[in-house]
Amino acid sequence: DKYLLLSGMLQGADYGILLYGSGSTVWQLPFEGNIISGSLHPKALFAVFNIIGNDAKQRLQVVGPTGETLWEGTFREPIYKIKALEEGICAIAGDRACLLDYDGRPKWEHEFSGQVLRGDIGDDGSFAAVIKDHAGNLSQNIQHILIMLSSQGKEICSYSLDAPVNIVYKDRDHVYLVDDDGIMVLSQEGLLISNIKQKGIKQLTVADKNYIIANHETFSLLLESPMGR
C-alpha cells in the first residue's frame, strides 16, 4: 500500500520503476528486452520482473531496494506467473511450480505431468494450476486437470475439469475458475462450493468477501459472492 511498481517504454527501452505512494521515485531502471510482468516484495525489499529478452529467452530479474540487479536467470519453459513474498519468489512455469530464494536458489520444485495452461498464486504462497495431460499412457484423449499445491509445494488435491478454463484466480481460501459457462468456486481443499452460471466473462475481480466483478466484452456485472454474508 505504500509503493507502486510500474513498467513502461522510455526512449525505446523498457523500464521498471518503483514509486512511493506519494508519487516520488525510489528507483528507475532500464531492462534489456520486454517486461511481461512484475511483483513487489511485501516490504519493497525486492522487485522481481518477468522479461522476454532480445534473444527470445524468458528470464527473471531480481532488483534490490536501491535499484541494483541482485540476480537474473533464464527458464527453459515460459513463465506464466510470479509472486514476490517474504519466503521468496513463487513462480509457475510451463512444466513446474517452484519457490526460489532471492539469490535464485530453489527451495522446492514441483514438476507437473503435463503442460501448464493457466495458473495463479495466492498471497500465502499456495498455487493453483490447470494443466493439459493425456487421459492415460496409451490414450490420445486430452484432459484438463486443476492441481492445487501448498506453500511448501505439497499437492493438496487434483480436480479433473469438464471444460477448458479461461481464468484461474487464487486467494488464501478459495480458487475461482472461469470457463465459457461461468465461475466455479472451490475451497482450499478442492471442494466445489459454488457454480455461478454466467457466459462470456473476460476478466474476474474478487472485490472482497461479498462481491465479484465479472467483466464482459462491453459491460460489467457486480455479483454477490457465495462466500459473503
Q: What is the DSSP string of 38-90?
A: EEE-TTSS-EEEEEE-TTS-EEEEEE-TTS-EEEEEEESS-EEEEEEETTEEE
Residue 153 scores a pLDDT above 70: yes
Residue 143 scores a pLDDT above 80: yes
Written as nine digits, the cell of 148 is: 492445487
Residue 133 scores a pLDDT above 70: yes
Q: Collapsing DSSP states into helix, strand and coil, what is residue 25?
A: strand
pLDDT > 70 fraction of the chain, expressed in percent and rounded: 95
Please give the pLDDT value at position 152.
95
Q: What is the mean pLDDT of residues 100-128?
A: 94
Residue 140 scores a pLDDT above 70: no
Q: What is the mean pLDDT of residues 57-62?
A: 93
Q: Which residue has the higher pLDDT, 139 or 54?
A: 54
Q: Which residue has the higher pLDDT, 16 or 140?
A: 16
Burial of 161 (0-12, 13-18, 19+ CB in 10 A): middle
DSSP label of 164: -
As a dihedral over the C-alpha atoms of residue 45, residue 48, residue 49, residue 53, rounded to 10 degrees, the angle is 110
Q: Name, in order, each residue with C-beta under 8 angstroms of 137's C-beta and a sequence gap of 6 or more.
A: none
Query: pLDDT band for position 197 (50/70/90)?
Result: very high
Task: Give yes or no for a contact between 10 and 35, defined as CB atoms under 8 angstroms apart.
Answer: no
Q: What is the mean pLDDT of residues 130-143?
A: 74
Measured CA to CA, the distance from residue 75 to residue 57 in angstroms comes to 8
Residue 52 scores a pLDDT above 80: yes
Report which secondary-structure segment, H or E, holds 18.
strand 13-20
Please give the pLDDT value at position 137.
58
Q: What is the mean pLDDT of residues 145-173?
A: 93
Q: Name, in order, each residue with C-beta under 8 angstroms of 22's C-beta and a sequence gap of 6 or more.
A: none
Measured CA to CA, the distance from residue 51 to residue 56 in angstroms comes to 9
Please give the pLDDT value at position 35.
95
Please give the pLDDT value at position 207.
85
Residue 210 scores a pLDDT above 60: yes
Residue 127 scores a pLDDT above 60: yes
Please give the pLDDT value at position 139.
54
Residue 169 scores a pLDDT above 90: yes
Q: Is the dihedral of CA 9, 15, 21, 22 positive or negative?
A: negative
Task: Give yes or no for a contact between 96 and 79, defined as CB atoms under 8 angstroms apart.
Answer: no
Residue 141 scores a pLDDT above 80: no
Task: Give yes or no for a contact between 89 and 107, defined as CB atoms under 8 angstroms apart.
Answer: no
Strands 3-10 and 13-20, by their bridges, are: antiparallel
Please give the pLDDT value at position 228.
59
Residue 138 scores a pLDDT above 60: no
Per the prediction, the chain carries an average pLDDT of 91
DSSP label of 216: -
